[in-house]
Amino acid sequence: MAWDSNRPVPWKRLIKEWAIYAAIMAVILIVVFRDGGRLLPILGGLLVSGPIYLAFGAVLAKFGYQRKTLGELRTPRATPGGSSDTAAPAARPKPPPTRRTSTGPSNRPRSKRR
């Protein structure tokens, strides 16, 4: 798709997603780097990732990219044609038995008992 400056950018969603990510990563980083003095620069890098994420998400939104929400992933939506996106494929009939399958009488000679 081409760039369209009239496409809306979902700022609330982008900010919420980044805030959840930053909170989880901050907890992980605090647990991993709790004994060293390196925690402050690492958390600073995490804060710098916010504007980068928002800018990248805004550019993708202007190009027309929209990721599905969790609700949209859980429930399939009906298409205008009347079928759903995740329609089950038609059931295939069971293939007839062949000499390599184990259905039916065995063609192998039985081993003799000792």
Alpha helices for 10-90 (secondary structure H):
11-32, 39-62, 70-74
Sequence-distant (6+) residues with CB within 8 A of 33 are: 39, 42
Tokens 């000792």 found at: 114
Tokens 């980044």 found at: 18
Residue-wise pLDDT tens digits, 23-77: 999 999 999 888 877 888 889 999 999 999 999 999 999 998 888 887 888 887 6
Longest CA pairwise span in the chain (Å): 86
pTM for this predicted structure: 0.60
Bridge partners for 84 per DSSP: 78
Sequence spans of domains, the chain? 11-66
Which amino acid is located at 87 in the chain?
A
Residue 106 has a pLDDT of: 62
Tokens 């979902």 found at: 10
Residue-wise pLDDT tens digits, 63-83: 988 888 878 888 876 656 555
